[in-house]
Amino acid sequence: MKVHDISLTVCLRSLRGNTFARQSLQTHTQSFVNPMRLVSARLAELGRALILDSGPERAYDDITRLLATTLAVPITMVNLLDAERDWFKSCVGIQQTQSPVVTSFCEAFFNTSSDLIVVEDTLLDPRFKAHPLVLGRPFLRFYAAARLTVRGETVGTLCAYDICPRQLAIDQLDHLRTLAGAAVELIGRRSQRKTDNPCVPAS
């Protein structure tokens, strides 16, 4: 499977000398500042799981691999929404383990009550058509994600990307929801272990 580098650094390099693209990046950056990301209760729930910057775990890797296969997409991830970054507990198709808020597609969940977002063509969606990773490398054209909610707080997403526009069948949407539920259960177990015994790190 081809590896897609979606770092902001690569994106900015590809945009140098392109005035229109730089202006689009500036507009996109300003529109993506969302105070909901910084809500203390949400960050506390994320912190309770002791998952940020933790090592790889097969259970999460199984989820992202199965999602990539089921949806037939090159990029999938279990994405945790930290205060100033998206951190990937597991990912398929990219080498990085985090990205800055400015490149976060999943920021969109802070602006909707829906637990599922499916964008068949990012260039036709006003939320993403000016996104730097749509206008520049790797030119993402499809995005689908399910909200990961623990004790009522949005801690992350299970998401998928493609470089071509596409549609999902009903059974594929069901798989996305089911796998997101599995990820929520895993994260919830970590939080519960920490609550039951504060002296024992979650693992």
Report if pTM > 0.85: no
Lowest mean pLDDT: which of 4-8, 137-141, 166-170? 4-8
Contacts of 2 (CB under 8 A, 6+ apart): 74, 93
Q: Which pLDDT score, from 0 to 100, does residue 53 have?
A: 96
Q: In what order do the strands lie in the sheet with 142-150?
A: 98-100, 85-92, 75-81, 153-162, 142-150, 116-119
Q: Which pLDDT score, from 0 to 100, does residue 27 have?
A: 47
Domain limits, the chain: 8-196
Can you tell me the distance from the alpha carbon of 136 to that of 4, in angstroms, rounded to the nearest whole number? Answer: 12
Instruction: Tell me what the mean pLDDT of segment 166-172 comes to.
Output: 97
| Cβ–Cβ under 8 Å, residues 148 and 88 | no
Instruction: Tell me what the mean pLDDT of segment 41-55 comes to.
Output: 95
Rounded mean pLDDT of the chain? Answer: 85
Q: Which pLDDT score, from 0 to 100, does residue 83 have?
A: 93
Contacts of 14 (CB under 8 A, 6+ apart): 136, 137
Q: How much of the chain, in percent, has pLDDT values that exceed 70? A: 78
> Encoding tokens for residue 116?
């599922």
Residue 127 DSSP SS3: coil
Instruction: Tell me what the mean pLDDT of segment 103-115 comes to.
Output: 95
Architecture of domain 8-196: 2-Layer Sandwich (3.30)
Instruction: Tell me what the mean pLDDT of segment 84-109 comes to.
Output: 94
Lowest mean pLDDT: which of 13-17, 41-45, 174-178? 13-17
Residues 16-32 pLDDT 10s: 444 444 444 444 444 55
Q: Which pLDDT score, from 0 to 100, does residue 127 have?
A: 94
Residue 184 has pLDDT above 70, yes or no: yes
Q: Which pLDDT score, from 0 to 100, does residue 32 have?
A: 52
Instruction: Tell me what the mean pLDDT of segment 48-61 comes to.
Output: 96
Backbone angles phi, psi at 73, to 5 degrees: -120, 155
